[in-house]
Amino acid sequence: MEQSTGMLSLAEFGNWLDAYGAAWEAGDADAAVELFTDDAEYHETPFAAPMVGAKDIHRYWVEGAGEAQKDVKFSHEALAVAGNVGLARWHASFVRIRTGKHVELDGFLLAEFARAGKCSVFREWWHRRETIDE
């Protein structure tokens, strides 16, 4: 996603979210890392220390989406952009490979963008519901 100006457009942000969702659905850690700057901060929750840099983000995606989840579905709504920051609501569902539990996530994310449309700071807030299919 190449930004034509220093400002992020809603369409550019929506395209980034599409790529983020595609990487998650495919369990593709390499594709996910390509969406972030080499020194990006990835805040999975507001209380945990962020993952910093491509290596940490890649490991997180391999261990999560790549090795622990299947049947991932992701949807989003880009809500707003201001300068280089985008805000979106998102929903995801998947099955935990180890336990067979069905997981639904509903959340918001805030993404700050740097050069070439790559995310430099990623923050998300979400709630989870888990069930066992019977």
Does residue 4 sit within a domain? no
Does residue 58 sit within a domain? yes
Does residue 121 sit within a domain? yes
Does residue 67 sit within a domain? yes
Q: Which residues pair with 41 in a beta bridge?
A: 52, 121
Domain interval for residue 72: 10-132
Instruction: Name the 3-class secondary structure at 61.
Output: helix
Two structure tokens written together for 37:
């700057």
Does residue 37 sit within a domain? yes
Total tally of structural domains belonging to the chain: 1
CATH number where 70 lies: 3.10.450.50
Does residue 27 sit within a domain? yes
Cβ neighbourhood burial of 12 (10 Å; 0-12, 13-18, 19+): buried
2 pLDDT tier (thresholds 50, 70, 90)? very low
Two structure tokens written together for 94:
């998947």
Does residue 5 sit within a domain? no
| pLDDT tens track for 30-61 | 999 999 999 999 999 999 999 999 999 999 99
Does residue 2 sit within a domain? no
Residue 56: phi, psi to the nearest 5? -65, -40
The kind and range of the H/E element at 78 are strand 69-82
Instruction: Kindly report the pTM of this predicted structure.
Output: 0.90
